[in-house]
Structure formats: structure tokens, C-alpha cells
Amino acid sequence: MSTLPTTAVVVPRGRVTQVRVLTSEWIKLRTLRSTYITLLVAIVAMIGFGMLICWATESHWATMPPPEKAHFEAASRSLAGYRIAQLAVGVLGVMVVTGEYSTGMIRATLSAVPRRLPVLWAKAAVFAVVTVVLMAIASVVAFSAGQAVLSAQHIQVSLTAPGVTRIVLGTALYLTVVGLLGVGLGAVVRSTPGGIASVFGVLLVLPALAEALPSSWADHVNQYLPSNAGESLLTLHTEAHQLTPWTGFLVFALYAVAALVAGAVVLKRRDA
């Protein structure tokens, strides 16, 4: 009895490249329900809260004190919703990393990408692109809607007015850096509650604590705190003891870079 010769079938294994890791992270991000929920919250906060603030301003404009009218910034008022949106974006940034640790999926991810660091860079890159695009759209819509409300009192401004475009697009950049700060802190802490607490602490608690410092110290320290530095990009007129817009944004971006570098070190040295 003769037997047929057998041949082994070898399935070629694809080489791990940064492009393939980016594709993998994009699939993960767009298939998570939390992505849609948190980004929707950010967009609704940007547009809805901005319109609400503009409506309150328009309704009380006639009775507002002259000093308050003199310091009124129409562009910033219509984008006031970023203060709530930053919380949603920061939470999503944390969850982009910690979500895999909570489910244990990170072990499969790092088995597929043994070098590890391409995973973190891909997560940060995919998150940054999605966030900056959506937040730019939300900022433009919030600005347009807010100025439409303010036009009833003829106190609206044009997008082409000096400094206004920088504020509108700067809001999207600020929120993107907030999210990247969350990605970095999430990689360091590896816990969703811990990462969220870290982001809130950096953005909200640090400025409050700095207020307790003596004024001679606070004037110099406050301007270099993460959120204070980043928010200088969102103001039309720089105040005393405040960094210039792009300098402040650069300082804020360096905080996010430091968090990502710290996350990379932890990812490289610790077991999953």
C-alpha cells in the first residue's frame, strides 16, 4: 500500500511594522463603545455649554458692569465648554492604555509587538489624530453657534479677527495635549481610576494648591503649571504673570511629552 507524500504548510508570519501597529490601534479605538461616549460628551459640552454661556451673557449684557464689558472676549466665551470637554478627553486618553490592562488584553498586544514601545507610540498617534480632528470641528461649531447668539447684542467677532483663529484652533490643540497627557499617565499608573485621578490632579488640583502659595511665589509658579500654561493659548490678551500663547502651549506640550516618556520607561521595564 502506497502512501501519499505529505508536505508541511508554512504560513508566513508578517513582519511587525509601525504602520501595522497603527492599524491595530485604530481598530481598537474605533470599536470601543467608550470612545464614542467620551468623545460625544466632549463635543456636546463644547457646543452646548458654550451656547449656554453666550446666551447668559447676551441676556445680561445690558446690566453688566462697564469693567466686565471692557474685559469681555467673545471668542473665549463661546468656547468656554472646553473646561468640561477636557475632562472627557483626559479620561479617554487614560482608558486608551489602561483599558487593555484591566481586561488583560495587554499581554496579547505585547506578545504580538515584543518591542513594546511601538504600541505606546501608535496609541498616542491614533488618539491624537482622532482628537484634534473632532475637537477642531467642535471648536468651530461652538464658536459659530456662540457668535450667532451674541449677535443679538452686536458683540460677536469674526473668525478672521486678530487672534480669534488661534483661540479656536488652539482649543483643539489644547484638548489634544490633555488627552496625550492622559495617555502618558495611564501608561505610568496602569490603572483607570489612578490614571483619571492623576489627570484631574494635574489639571485641577495643582492650580488650586498653587493659590495657597504667597503671592510673590504664586505669580511665578502658576504660569508654569500644566493647565495654566496651556490655557494661555486660549486667551486673546495675555495678562501679567502669564506666558505668551505659544510659549505656554509649548510648556504644556512638554508636560505631555514627559508623561509619555515616563510611560515608555515603565512599559519597557515592567512586566505586563
What would the pLDDT profile of 29-77 be if each residue is shown by its tens digit? 999 999 999 999 999 999 999 999 999 999 999 888 988 888 889 999 9
Does residue 215 fall inside a structural domain? yes
Report yes or no on 4 lying in a domain: no
In this prediction the pTM is 0.91
Residue 31 lies in a domain: yes
Domain membership flag for residue 12? no
Task: Please tell me which residue, 270 or 196, carries the higher pLDDT value.
Answer: 196
Q: Is 237 inside any structural domain?
A: yes
Per-residue pLDDT reduced to its tens digit, 127-162: 999 999 999 999 999 999 999 999 999 899 999 999
Whether the Cβ atoms of residue 243 and residue 230 lie closer than 8 Å to each other? no
Query: What is the overall mean pLDDT for the chain?
Result: 90
Cβ(188)–Cβ(259) under 8 Å?
yes
Number of domains in the chain: 1
Q: Measured between alpha carbons, how far is residue 238 from residues 59, 159, 228 in Å?
A: 27, 19, 12
pLDDT of residue 272: 65
Q: Is residue 2 part of a domain?
A: no
**Cβ atoms 85, 138 nearer than 8 A:** yes
Residue 9 lies in a domain: no
pLDDT in tens, 74-130: 999 999 999 999 999 999 999 999 999 988 899 999 889 989 999 999 999 999 999
Does 126 fall in a domain? yes
Residues of the domain holding 188:
18-269
C-alpha cell at 85: 470637554
Provide the strand spans (E) within 105-211: none
